Structure 1
């Protein structure tokens, strides 16, 4: 079960971290106009992921308070990682040591976010029915569009578990 939680947390955190690569191509990177558009796209991806998981995991009304706590951590982690990746993207003339330090900051924020996410998911997962636990285990274990870091935020393409990579 701990392995499933770690995989869950990684999948969810990474979905938020990679989502900001969807900035619109119409505005040049690093311009003030592109930052709000990239942030809006990133927030939409995080919200799409939250909505997808809510549906996929069949969250009940009795589980809403735990779900909301989990979703809030996802939002916070997504915002933190989005800001850090935007800073990294904006800093194009870094020395090798500064680049490594910046990456270390991102890695530490990711680790801190994962801890928060696992802490928020634990009571929710404990409240799940056996069916919901199976759904969660499969959803976060697949690693594909439905359950992993490669999720594009759309939630529309569905693979059968046997077809997962």
Structure 2
């Protein structure tokens, strides 16, 4: 079961960033920019190693996104709002999966379903918050930046749809 505990937070971070349909954000975690504000470094000191790893993963993806979009100083405050929601969402989902993992062995089927429903509901709420913060950012982007990110979202959505349809055909 430990592998599930460690995979779900990474999955959450992946969903929170690539779930937006950002094909431009690939597996590279080495990109560095000023995507992480100083407050993130201060916040991470009180985190567990797993939480720090989640934030590092999210920050790396955000740094790649920031570079690919070409965030300007005028867009920085909207960008900051988006990144904060991204990090918070990743930690929220991670915490819920960690809590679920701690009690999974003693859950009956109904409790198991309720636990998963609670995670799904929280994830939906968090995605709505992320969408709102992204809308704010998107409205500040130039038309060229919007075109670039529209194309990236579309490409990622098409790839994910194709992947899911392929799975359905093999079921």
TM over 0.5: yes
Runs in 1 of length 4+ with deviation above 4 angstroms? none
**Distance across 1 between alignment mates of 2:15 and 2:134:** 11
Q: State the partner residue of 1:41.
A: 53
Structure showing the higher helix proportion among its residues:
2
Q: State the partner residue of 1:116.
A: 129
Gaps of 5+ in 2: 1-13, 20-46, 161-171
Q: Deviations over 1:72-95 (max 9, x none)?
A: 111111110111111222333121
**Distance across 2 between alignment mates of 1:87 and 1:76:** 16
Query: Residues 118 and 43 (structure 1 numbering): CA distance in 2 closer, same or farther, change over 3 Å?
Result: same
Equivalent pairs counted in the alignment come to 118
Cα RMSD (Å):
2.5
Q: 1:96 aligns with which of 109, 121, 129?
A: 109
Alpha-carbon contact 2:69-2:148 (below 8 Å) kept: yes
Confirm whether residue 69 of structure 1 aligns to residue 81 of structure 2.
yes
Alpha-carbon contact 2:16-2:127 (below 8 Å) kept: yes
Q: State the partner residue of 1:138.
A: 151
Please report how far the alpha carbon of residue 14 of structure 1 lies from its aligned counterpart in structure 2 after TM superposition: 6.2
**Distance across 2 between alignment mates of 1:124 and 1:12:** 19
TM-score normalised to structure 2 length: 0.61
Confirm whether residue 79 of structure 1 aligns to residue 82 of structure 2.
no
Alpha-carbon contact 1:13-1:110 (below 8 Å) kept: no
Q: Which has the higher contact order (CA 8 A, sep 6+)?
A: 1
Query: Residues 88 and 139 (structure 1 numbering): CA distance in 2 closer, same or farther, change over 3 Å?
Result: farther
